[in-house]
Amino acid sequence: MIISVRSLSYDELKRNLNHDDKIVIWSCDTCVKHCGIAGMEKMTALEDLLKEDGYTVLKKELVSESCQINLAKKHKAAHEDIFNESTAIILLTCEIGYQCVKTVFPKKKVIATAKTFGSGNFSNKKGPILTSPLPTTGLAPEPEGYTLTMLVEQFNLYPKFFDADKEPNPEKITITVDGKPVEVKKDANLLDELSANRIRIPHLCYDSSLGSIGACRMCLVKIEGKRGLVPSCCTQIEEGMIVTTEDEEITKLRKSILQMIIAECGDEIQQSRDIRYWMRRYKITENRFSLPKKDEIVDDSNEVLVKDPNRCILCGRCVRACANLSGQKVINFANRGSNTVTITGLNEPFASTDCAHCLACAHYCPTNAITPKSISKKISGYPFWTMITYPKKLARTT
């Protein structure tokens, strides 16, 4: 993932705008979302702030591949009138996104809000970690990597996204997990807090940025005083909780769920990293269920995505990603019970829908039922990182 940190405060951003500017806000929904600078919620928060202050926002748009020139050009063509009318484009993206949009709209005022440091990975405990700094940052490679906090302090940048990220100081309490005391945030999501404490619970339908629906049942745990098994993804932490995350009964159930998924979706589903990991973890070598294997038509009508319903486990992540992150609501559930399926639009080909090609659905799908047709590592023949030349410092005065 690309590691970027916000470089402009809201006040500094406003100093780059005129009050009569017609603004388009553009953001992406891939790696930089984890750094807290991108995504639909951030765009909405910024739009609200700007509108409250009397600015005109014409449009906000989420594009996963804003860093790819061709896609930016395509969006320009699709929204020519809006972009013609706009006088300022605010980017909540990494600087690769900035470079590309600047190339496509050379005469517009394009405002970058982030500084990009290089590539890295995501740690459940520490968040995004910079492991391969760009030479232009002057940072020496660090075996442990650099956290966002370190970058923010060292480079005098901003840790939070405008006013949208205000976090109350959560109260910490101690609960018992598998016989050991564990410190967690009071009232927080149990699965999130277990993960934060490196207690790995299998989960297929849950993602902290999408919320919980308790569909896959892989995250079931036992909680003293509660009847049966409860999904940890839908459980709020309470004082004095005593949790069992693994025992014979839980293991058996998780194995059965995995075996049912494989029986229904076939061996191909094992190409999914998540499924493969949990199959190894639970030593699943054979399938004890014989269910009719799905035989659905693959939809590859979409320009950038392929939807293969045969691999779908109905976790609903794509549905929520499309609605909550992209705001498009192109993917939905249809029918009920064992006939439930995911459909696009009003059960029409993907290509006929309002899909914004943001790729949020593919990003969150745990089984590769929706995948991008190609993820190009090269842009216009140049290696990825050669695209970055830092934008001139914007009018930052504080």
List residues near ligand FES by CB under 6 A: 203-206, 214-219, 231, 233
Q: How far is the CB of 367 from ligand FES (least distance, A)?
A: 13
Minimum Å gap between C-beta 213 and ligand FES is 7
Select 215 or 356, whichever has its Cβ closest to ligand FES. Answer: 215
Ranges assigned E (strand) in 55-140:
56-62, 88-92, 109-112, 114-123, 127-133
8-state DSSP, 171: P
Q: What are the backbone dihedrals phi and psi of residue 293, each rounded to the nearest 5 degrees, phi first?
A: -75, 140
Please count the CA atoms within 13 angstroms of the CA of 214 that sit on its side-chain side: 10
**CB of residue 283 vs ligand FES: minimum separation in angstroms?**
21
- In this complex, which beta carbon is closest to ligand FES, that of residue 14 or of residue 217? 217
Minimum separation from the CB atom of position 291 to ligand FES (A): 20
Residue 361 host element (H or E): helix 360-364
Taking the complex as a whole, how short is the minimal distance between the CB of residue 231 and ligand FES, in angstroms? 4
Is the CB of 1 or the CB of 219 nearer to ligand FES?
Answer: 219
**Spatial distance between the Cα atoms of 332 and 344, rounded to a whole number of angstroms:** 6
199, 218 Cβ separation under 8 angstroms: no
CB of 363 to ligand FES, least distance (A): 17
In the complex with ligand FES, the residue whose CB is nearer, 120 or 366, is: 366
Q: In this complex, which beta carbon is closest to ligand FES, that of residue 15 or of residue 273? A: 273
> What is the rounded distance in angstroms from the CA atom of residue 183 to the CA atom of residue 255?
29
Long-range contacts from 219-222, C-beta under 8 angstroms, 24+ separation? 219/191, 220/250, 220/253, 220/254, 221/190, 221/245, 221/250, 222/247, 222/249, 222/250
Of the pair 127, 211, the CB lying nearest ligand FES is at 211
**CB 334 within 8 Å of CB 342:** yes
Distance in Å, CB of 29 to ligand FES, minimum? 21
Q: Of the two residues 96 and 313, which places its CB atom closer to ligand FES in the complex?
A: 313
3-state helix, strand, coil in the chain (%, to 5): 35, 25, 45
